[in-house]
Chain A
Amino acid sequence: AQSVAQPEDQVNVAEGNPLTVKCTYSVSGNPYLFWYVQYPNRGLQFLLKYITGDNLVKGSYGFEAEFNKSQTSFHLKKPSALVSDSALYFCAVRARMDSSYKLIFGSGTRLLVRP
């Protein structure tokens, strides 16, 4: 079955420290992977995506993600966390359906950056 797993419900990190939000996936065919962020009372905002090419993808707000095919992972990273990064983060994989595609989302990871 095609799926996305975010094993941590919450990640806590101190401001200025590096952060990692984990994501693993299971999909048939080539994986197309996405990260979205949701701030309180807002819709999801696109951060970055992996389609092909370099395994390290750079996105908005200083975030990056590393695609690892052998481990079927797509972890989100940032070298130095900000308090304003505190939000809910979703990993998603594009899965092939009969005649179209759909995004399958993980359950989300809440990132809390303390001052």
Chain B
Amino acid sequence: EAQVTQNPRYLITVTGKKLTVTCSQNMNHEYMSWYRQDPGLGLRQIYYSMNVEVTDKGDVPEGYKVSRKEKRNFPLILESPSPNQTSLYFCASSLSGVTPHEQYFGPGTRLTVT
């Protein structure tokens, strides 16, 4: 089954404790992206990747890091989480970042930072 998976689905952590949210897709997609969803703000892009070893900042990259060493994986790293990073996070992938293909979304990771 074609899908985007994220782990963990739920995470409660404390300020400053490094964490990684994994994202994997099995569709051989070139383009991958991370979003955060906050009430009334829709989805805002954190980072995106056009292909392996090619990543760039989205609209709200502060406090986040990403890497794209393999085509299928695109982990999101919070080196020192803070309470304002409490949010619902989505990973998405698309066949290409150049052509207007739809994006496929993972199930989401709800992060709480205390």
Interface residues of A (CB under 8 A from B): 4, 9, 32, 34, 36, 41-46, 49, 51, 90, 94, 100-103, 105-108
Known: A43-B4, A44-B90. A103 touches B50 (CB 8 A): no
Number of A-B contacts (CB under 8 A): 54
B97 proximity list for chain A (CB < 8 A) = 100-101
Q: Which of A90, A101, A103, A107 contacts B98 (CB 8 A)?
A: A101
Chain B residue nearest in CB terms to A42: B107
Q: Tell me the smallest distance from the CB of A61 to a CB of chain B, in Å.
A: 15
A44 proximity list for chain B (CB < 8 A) = 43, 90, 92, 103, 105
CB of B34 within 8 A of chain A?
no
Max chain A C-beta neighbours (<10 A), residue from B58, B90, B102: B102
Q: How far is the CA of A6 from the CA of B106 in the complex (A)?
A: 23
Number of chain B interface residues as a range: 20 to 34
B42 proximity list for chain A (CB < 8 A) = 4, 90, 105-108
A100 proximity list for chain B (CB < 8 A) = 48, 50, 56, 97-98
A43 with B106: CB separation less than 8 A: yes
Q: Tell me the smallest distance from the CB of A92 to a CB of chain B, in Å.
A: 8
CB of B64 within 8 A of chain A?
no
B43 with A49: CB separation less than 8 A: no
A105 proximity list for chain B (CB < 8 A) = 35, 42-44
Q: How far is the CA of A51 from the CA of B102 in the complex (A)?
A: 11
